[in-house]
Amino acid sequence: GAGVSQSPSNKVTEKGKDVELRCDPISGHTALYWYRQSLGQGLEFLIYFQGNSAPDKSGLPSDRFSAERTGGSVSTLTIQRTQQEDSAVYLCASSLRVAGPYNEQFFGPGTRLTVL
């Protein structure tokens, strides 16, 4: 079946512009996660959606970052007034189970964001 898809695959923007990154999770997966990898850094958790519960936003680095998940499926990560330090690969993942240790996460191919 189809895996997690993300769009765009690459995005170049100017400092101060807003960007939207999209994630389509695997059908039927109730949990959806956003991570990012900045140059030379590990994968950093940003936000987590679990079914209809309030999202865990504890990883969002500033109030310029927000995310929503419509209809329990597609998610959009929005970065307002982008800064050069926002340049990174943004990865989305989804998992079948809402919770539990065996919730193997399936990752999308990522969006490479470059802020000039």
Partner 1 sequence: ILNVEQSPQSLHVQEGDSTNFTCSFPSSNFYALHWYRWETAKSPEALFVMTLNGDEKKKGRISATLNTKEGYSYLYIKGSQPEDSATYLCAFLYNQGGKLIFGQGTELSVKP
**Between 56 and 80, CB nearer to partner 1:** 56
Burial of 105 (0-12, 13-18, 19+ CB in 10 A): middle
* Residue 13 in the binding site for partner 1 (CB under 8 A): no
* Residue 41 in the binding site for partner 1 (CB under 8 A): yes
In the set 21, 23, 77, 91, which binds partner 1 (CB under 8 A)? 91
* Residue 104 in the binding site for partner 1 (CB under 8 A): yes
State in angstroms the smallest separation of the CB of 81 from partner 1: 26
* Residue 99 in the binding site for partner 1 (CB under 8 A): yes
Tell me the residue ranges of DSSP E strands in 15-104. Answer: 19-24, 31-37, 43-50, 65-69, 75-79, 88-95
* Residue 87 in the binding site for partner 1 (CB under 8 A): no
* Residue 58 in the binding site for partner 1 (CB under 8 A): yes
Do residues 112 and 38 touch, judged by C-beta distance below 8 A? no
Buried b (16+ CB within 10 A) or exposed e, 64-76: ebebebeeebebe
**Residues of the shown chain interacting with partner 1 in the complex, contacts defined by CB under 8 A:** 3-4, 31, 33, 35, 41-45, 48, 50, 56, 58-59, 91, 93, 95, 98-110
